[in-house]
Amino acid sequence: MANKEKACAELGFYSEKHALPEETTEAELLSLIERLNNDDKIHGILVQLPLPKHLDDKTIINNILPSKDVDAFHPTNVGRIMIGDFDFVPCTPAGIMELIHESGVEVSGKECVVIGRSNIVGKPMAMLLLHEHGTVTVCHSRTKDLKAQTRRADILVAAVGIPKFVTGDMVKDGAVVIDVGMDRDENGKLCGDVDFDSVEPVAGAITPVPGGVGPMTIAMLMKNTLTAARRAHEKKQG
Ligand code: NAP
């Protein structure tokens, strides 16, 4: 949260942090969201997940105005991503696409393999690669012979949550490897889902952890918020 506040301050965005006690009721949280939904000064609302057990993520997210849902978790925004008509993309996949574009990597026609099918990373990632004409395979914990799938990948995205899960023998020569993981190794040190030391010699390009996808996520949150502010302004202008 501190990084997000810092990014807002650096960009000159007005921001409010509401650090609520754990025992906050659903009614109290929904009332705050309603107030922010109706506040013209606020263009983006982000609820830090996971919520305490007595609060239902879905109910809370569904009550954020889709036009202020800068995390793009509301079903309306998820649906818009499916059909390729969207303002916001979940920040982590959006950051990955930005990295791909900035690196001059062409997605069209490439074999893209995404390991992980979560709603916040794997699924939207797969959709974005598909929109850019990649041939996309999504792998998960029930995938048989994962290595056979990953070794076909020109672009491999690892969003598994297991430290150093992807090893050099799972990667095709020259592949672009994107590591979404934010894990802890046996010494408690931050590491990714990719075993950098064994994969880096094989890969054509690879994102490090820390310093790769992570910082892009916050940048994309800021971008989504700016987009939301622009849309609100356009709406006001008619
Ligand atoms: P998640 O919801 O736990 O999803 C993990 C996915 O990995 C699931 O789809 C799971 O399959 C799959 N998986 C687990 N074990 C597997 C195996 N042995 N073989 C193949 N697939 C397997 O995690 P997430 O929220 O997507 O996050 C993934 C990682 O990204 C985590 O390390 C997280 O900390 C990190 N992350 C980083 C950022 C960032 O800003 N850099 C943002 C979000 C997340 P099933 O669906 O079959 O269970």
Q: Delimit the domains of the chain by residue range.
A: 2-83, 91-213
Instruction: Kindly write down the DSSP assignment for every residue of 100-156, as one continuous string.
Output: HHHTT---TT-EEEEE---TTTHHHHHHHHHHTT-EEEEE-TT-SSHHHHHTT-SEE
Alpha-carbon distance of 45 to 22, in angstroms, equals: 19
Instruction: Say if CB 99 and CB 212 are below 8 A apart.
Output: yes
> Quick one: fold of 2-83?
Rossmann fold (3.40.50)
Token pair 């109910």 is found at 59
Pocket test for ligand 1, best of 71, 121, 167 (most atoms within 8 A of CB): 121
Whole-number pLDDT of residue 238? 81
Alpha-carbon distance of 232 to 211, in angstroms, equals: 33
Token pair 């996520």 is found at 217
Task: Give the three-class secondary structure for 187.
Answer: coil
Residue 121 CA, ligand 1 centroid: distance in Å:
8
Summarize pLDDT for 115-135 with one digit per residue, the tens: 999 999 999 999 999 999 999
Alpha-carbon distance of 217 to 115, in angstroms, equals: 18
Same-fold call for 2-83 versus 91-213: yes
164 labelled catalytic: no
Q: Which atom of ligand 1 is nearest to the CA of 160?
A: 7
The angle subtended at Cα 106 by Cα 103 and Cα 110, nearest 5°, is 130
pTM: 0.95
Residue 194 CA, ligand 1 centroid: distance in Å:
12
Whose alpha carbon is nearest atom 2 of ligand 1? 118
Rg (CA), the chain: 19
Residues (pLDDT < 50) of the chain are none
Q: How many CB atoms within 10 Å of residue 158?
A: 31
Task: Give the three-class secondary structure for 51.
Answer: coil
Q: Which residues line ligand 1 (CB under 6 A)?
A: 92, 115-118, 120-122, 139-143, 146, 159-162, 180-183, 193, 213-214, 217
Whole-number pLDDT of residue 2? 84
Dihedral sign, CA of 222, 17, 4, 107? negative
Residue 40 CA, ligand 1 centroid: distance in Å:
36
Q: Which atom of ligand 1 is nearest to the CA of 209?
A: 41
Whole-number pLDDT of residue 37? 98
149 labelled catalytic: no
| Active-site annotation holder among 4, 68, 123, 223 | 4
Q: How many CB atoms within 10 Å of residue 37?
A: 14
CATH class of 91-213: alpha beta
- Please list the residues that pair with 111 across neighbouring strands: 135
Helix (H) or strand (E) run with residue 223 in it: helix 213-237
Residue 35 CA, ligand 1 centroid: distance in Å:
33
Whole-number pLDDT of residue 130? 98
